[in-house]
Structure 1
Amino acid sequence: MINCAIAGLGRWGRALVEAAQNEPRLSVVRAVEPDMSGAASFCAAHGLSPATSLQAVLAEPEIDAVLLATPHSLHRSQVIAAAAAGKQVFCEKPLALKRRDAAEMFAACRNAGVLLAVGHNRRFWPSMQALRAMVAGGELGTILHVEGHNSNENSQGITQGWRLSPEESPGGGLTGAGLHVLDGFVSLLGPARQVYARLSEREAGPPPLDTATLAIEFVNGVSATLATVRATPFYWRVHVFGTKGSAEVLDEGTMVLRKSGEAPATTRYPVVNTLTAELSAFADAVERRQPFPVPEADVLATLAAFEAALQSMQSGYPVACHTAYQ
């Protein structure tokens, strides 16, 4: 049994706790939350013992791992402290807002002999797994271009808190929803060479009304476009175009394959609980059954492209992803 503590009991932290209940190797027993008065009933219902601070939890020998669902700015100090205490770490995306901070976290965990797993749950969508296999297997031929979109109207319900902070969530919807697509691109294509990005802000809010658009060149020569709109209903699209056909993922279970001279073929995959799937993969990695399927190199490449996008939004010009990131 891997005894875990959860830090952060907001919407996503609570979802992680509930998902962990479906993985018998994980037992979430402790909770760290600044506003414990609002989380007391949740803790009682899920058998969580409240803690005064993460540092106090890290000193408890019976805790094997920590799950971090905290603001991005806290991740660096929390991950490094967990590594120093010998705890396995699962941290929600984005791991950091700067590539160098993420690299420091991975180094701290590696030197301490513990795992650092980053929660990109859409990697576990059956449709995206099938798309990666299709691209890797060459079924689409030479990949030429990829288009992606992720909009999420959850921001309409956010009127206060760290998610509205430009320091915590720069780049409009890119930091939250859009980063899922950017990670998806990296998982398919590898690191980016250059990013040209624009943030169009209609109203500061709250809730904010803005759009983020990116044009990306990858090291392997593939071009890509990405867009995200925070104030519109959920929409997902990753469309890969190759010389032998194209494949478009529309949600966690739907892919449309197009080939010359053939009618579009839609495949529907069984839906899974992706949070449970990623936590099961975390347990596998802790037990050394297999590596966590979001490699360090991919996390760093995604953050390198993310940083370049933010710089491009500020400057109005394309920004190269530093060669040290590749």
Structure 2
Amino acid sequence: MFRIGLVGAGTMGNTHSRAYRQIEDAAIVAVCDIDEGKANKLAASWNAAVYSSLEEMLKNGDFDAVDICLPTDLHREAAELAAAYGKHVFCEKPIALTEEDASAIIAACKKAGVKLMVGHVVRFFPEYRSARDQVRSGRLGNLGVVRTVRSGAFPLWSEWFKDDSRSGGPLLDLAIHDFDYLQWTFGPVKRVFSRVLPVQPDGPAHTLTVLRFESGVMAHVEASWGYPQGSPFLTSIEITGSKGMVQFDKDKSNSIVQYGGSQKPSGVPDSPLAKSPYALELEHFIDCVKNNKEPLTSGEEALASLRIGLAARRSAETKQPVELEGVHQ
């Protein structure tokens, strides 16, 4: 049995809890959260121990890895502490809010000899993997323009999203999904040009980013928290080449639709697939630990994606393009 100590019993902690249910021989045995009610509720379904302090959990718990589902500004402290206790680390995206913190997390895990994987889950969505396979196989010919959309209402379920100094705003918390997928698919980014458009003063923001890759491919990345409350969460991708085009739209392309059952409203919708992308990524992490493999979304990969997001933020602030060098490790 692969034993997990889960840190953070909020929206993503519960999303991961549901995902572990789909993985054979995996169990949450300890839960840590400063909110005792949330921790007790999640832990009860696993008969797991509850802690209010991560260090207390690390000192007294018996588990193989720590799964960090905390606000982004707390990632470094939690990851460094887990590594110091010799625990493998799964950390939700983005890895951190600064290159310094991301590099420190990577260094701490390497020093401790533990695996580090970051939750860039889009790489595990079958539709996005299929699109990448078509790109990499050459079936689309010479590549030209890519468009991605990831938009919806502001995430009200967690107050910390409102503070850009904690979440990084939509460019680092939302668009980072597509930045990561795109650099994985098309390689290093050369130039970033971005705009952040507040929907209302000091309100949720709509972002538009243009990425120019070293290969010459151009990507238009739209990410928004500016839609009215109650609006559906939208994701789509379109990749155009000289021989063809591949498209995926979440609202138009669902090949499997679930009605009824036990699905309950939450911040992150459950997948109708036999194994959700979250289960696939956590299963991959466990396999990497057990078989000493390098995770697909390693710390270095996450740092490369973070650099794109930080460049987008600089571009939006200066209203100028930002050149990148050595983004992809």
Range with greater deviation from structure 2 (28-37 or 18-27): 18-27
Q: Is the 8 A contact 2:172 2:306 kept in 1?
A: no
Partner residue of 1:315? 318
Instruction: Read off the aligned partner of 1:277 and give its amino acid letter.
Output: L
Cα deviation for residue 32 of structure 1 reads: 0.7
Cα deviation for residue 220 of structure 1 reads: 2.0
Quick one: distance in 1 between partners of 2:277 and 2:4?
19
RMSD between superposed Cα atoms in Å? 2.3
How do 1:63-212 residues align onto structure 2 when only pairs under 5 Å count? 63-153=63-153, 155=154, 157-158=156-157, 161-171=159-169, 173-204=170-201, 208-212=203-207
Runs of 5+ unmatched residues, structure 1? 257-268
- Pick from 294, 300, 304: which aligns with 1:301? 304
Partner residue of 1:240? 239
Cα deviation for residue 8 of structure 1 reads: 0.5
- 1:125-177 CA deviation, whole Å, 9 max, x = no partner? 11111111111111011212211110132x2534x621110201234x22332
Instruction: Read off the aligned partner of 2:168 and give its amino acid letter.
Output: P
- Asked whether 1:19 is paired with 2:22, we answer no
Instruction: Read off the aligned partner of 1:162 and give its amino acid letter.
Output: W
How do 1:255-274 residues align onto structure 2 when only pairs under 5 Å count? 272-274=275-277
- Asked whether 1:214 is paired with 2:209, we answer yes
Specify the SS of the correspondent of 1:237.
strand
TM-score (normalised: structure 1): 0.88
Partner residue of 2:284? 281
Range with greater deviation from structure 2 (270-279 or 305-314): 270-279
Q: 1:252 to 1:18 in 2, by over 3 A?
A: farther
- 1:232-291 CA deviation, whole Å, 9 max, x = no partner? 3211112111111111122399499xxxxxxxxxxxx96741111111101100111643
Partner residue of 2:4? 4
Q: Is the 8 A contact 2:188 2:327 kept in 1?
A: no
Q: Is the 8 A contact 2:212 2:218 kept in 1?
A: yes
Q: Is the 8 A contact 2:27 2:46 kept in 1?
A: no
Cα deviation for residue 30 of structure 1 reads: 0.6
Runs of 5+ unmatched residues, structure 2? 256-271
Specify the SS of the correspondent of 2:206.
strand
Quick one: distance in 2 between partners of 1:52 and 1:229?
34
TM-score (normalised: structure 2): 0.87
How many pairs were matched up?
A: 309
Specify the SS of the correspondent of 1:157.
coil
Quick one: distance in 1 between partners of 2:117 and 2:297?
7
Cα deviation for residue 62 of structure 1 reads: 2.1
Specify the SS of the correspondent of 1:323.
coil
Partner residue of 1:263? none
Partner residue of 1:231? 226
Quick one: distance in 1 between partners of 2:188 and 2:89?
24
Q: Is the 8 A contact 2:36 2:52 kept in 1?
A: no
Cα deviation for residue 60 of structure 1 reads: 3.5
- 1:161-201 CA deviation, whole Å, 9 max, x = no partner? 21110201234x22332221111111211221111111011
Q: 1:296 to 1:135 in 2, by over 3 A?
A: farther
Instruction: Read off the aligned partner of 1:320 and give its amino acid letter.
Output: E
Cα deviation for residue 24 of structure 1 reads: 2.1
Cα deviation for residue 209 of structure 1 reads: 3.1
- 1:7-62 CA deviation, whole Å, 9 max, x = no partner? 00001111111211221232111111011134423322332211131111222462
Specify the SS of the correspondent of 1:231.
strand
Q: Is the 8 A contact 1:199 1:212 kept in 2?
A: yes
Instruction: Read off the aligned partner of 2:233 and give its amino acid letter.
Output: F
Range with greater deviation from structure 2 (87-96 or 298-307): 298-307
Cα deviation for residue 219 of structure 1 reads: 2.0
Q: 1:209 to 1:71 in 2, by over 3 A?
A: closer
Quick one: distance in 1 between partners of 2:320 and 2:294?
38
Instruction: Read off the aligned partner of 2:129 and give its amino acid letter.
Output: Q
Q: 1:65 to 1:161 in 2, by over 3 A?
A: same
Instruction: Read off the aligned partner of 2:186 and give its amino acid letter.
Output: L
Quick one: distance in 2 between partners of 1:295 and 1:17?
21
Over the matched positions of the two proteins, sequence identity in percent amounts to 28
